[in-house]
Amino acid sequence: MAFITQTNYQYYNTGQKFTATANQTQFLLTLDPLPTSKSKFNVFINNVEVDDNLYTYTSSGNNAGKVIFSAGRAAGDIVQVTLSNPVIAGNYRYISLNDIVGNFMVSYVGKDKIIPRIKRTDVLFHAKRGIQEFSYDISKVEKIQEIEVPDSLAMVMPQDYVDYVQISRIDALGVEHHLYPARLTSVPSESIAQAGDYTYLFDDDDSLLKQTPATQTRFKQADMDNVTATFIDDSLDDIDSLNARANEYGRRYGINPELATRNGNFVIDELSGKIHFSADLVGKVITLKYVSDGMGTDAEMRVHKFAEEAIYKHIVYAVMSARANSPEYVIARYKRDRFSAMRNAKLRLSNINPRELAQVMRNKSKVIKH
């Protein structure tokens, strides 16, 4: 189970500070986790960074965590070790995958317990599957990736991508302008090459020859102003026609609302794992907010403490349902326990702030003049 293992200085300054005694050469780091090499931190003496050739660092063994200088320090020297990639703040709210597996083995596995015997690797497998499910259904692990749209007008999906939440263009002030999917176009999974008489062309091994889809090429080269104008009714420029239509209730006219945007559009190509953008977005900075599956580095594979009990119930149910000799009524009981724990976790983690909701709804009460 996660406990506070850092001092306030270590947490807020992402490092550790020492006051040297006369001729002191060794300084023992107590950071959790310890840096794995010298490249993971920088050393400062009296606020001046020193070259890493002046000291050695041991990451394992009896001297793990020791920074050893080649020359002794003067009494009163302030030695600071600052992490290059600091640990993410707020980690105390979460429990790591390693702790989940360890706690489960201690609490649920053994003689006179729910699971008499099981391999640690099996628990690890079910724990990872649980984190994947929880990342989408309970904790909604959202990440934000920012890129500048290249000339190819394509963005590769992140490795842990599940689904997008929001794609936005960033203006000069850093404000997000939402992009909407181009529903009226697509990225064909394949485009078949044809001869002049429209017959299919084949390779030497009798497989179909493929080419870049014309749909994709034309979308990338399209002038979005022309796309929008295609759906404008020119008769609206005539005042008489405008007055006539004003009295026709229930009729649709004018611009298509889903194309009434100057922010740009995108198309998702699930097969190739890319997001394609319209031509007016080249060179623009965009952000992709997406749901992650939670399967990343060791630091990323974690569960919120409010969902800790739920992940244990999930593992119990997964283990018992996978065993051939488990009675159905026992499996049903653990399934109910899992559902109840997941529901409680979802309610606890549902971040509904009444003040924020009221502030947004106040905007709805404004009178809009037409």
Q: What is the pLDDT of residues 46-87, one digit of tens each?
A: 999 989 889 999 888 878 889 999 888 999 999 999 888 766
Residue 166, both tokens: 């929001």
Radius of gyration of the chain (CA): 30
What is the reported pLDDT for 338?
Answer: 92
Contacts made by residues 281-284, CB under 8 angstroms, sequence distance 24+ = 281/149, 281/153, 281/169, 281/179, 282/149, 282/150, 282/151, 282/153, 283/148, 283/149, 284/148, 284/149, 284/169, 284/170
| 250: pLDDT strictly greater than 60 | no
What is the reported pLDDT for 289?
Answer: 93
Q: How far is CA 318 from CA 97, 115, 149, 334, 345, in A?
A: 17, 12, 43, 9, 18
Lowest mean pLDDT among 130-134, 220-224, 289-293: 220-224
CA separation for the pair 356, 358 (Å, rounded)? 5
Q: What percent of the chain has pLDDT over 70?
A: 83
Q: Name the residue with tokens 């209730």.
A: 249
Question: Residue 12 burial (CB < 10 Å; 0-12/13-18/19+)?
Answer: exposed
| 254: pLDDT strictly greater than 70 | no
| 239: pLDDT strictly greater than 50 | no
Lowest mean pLDDT among 1-15, 122-136, 189-203: 1-15
**pTM surpassing 0.85?**
no
What is the tens place of the pLDDT at every residue in 192-214? 888 888 899 898 888 888 888 88
Residue pair 302/135 in contact (Cβ under 8 Å)? The answer is no
Band the pLDDT of 287: cuts 50, 70, 90. Answer: very high
Q: How far is CA 133 from CA 7, 137, 186, 322, in A?
A: 34, 6, 30, 17
Which has the higher per-residue pLDDT, 355 or 318?
318
In the chain, % helix, strand, coil (3-state, to 5) comes to 35, 25, 40
Q: What percent of the chain has pLDDT over 90?
A: 25
What is the reported pLDDT for 234?
Answer: 42
What is the tens place of the pLDDT at every residue in 293-349? 877 766 678 888 888 899 999 999 999 998 888 899 999 999 999 999 999 988 888
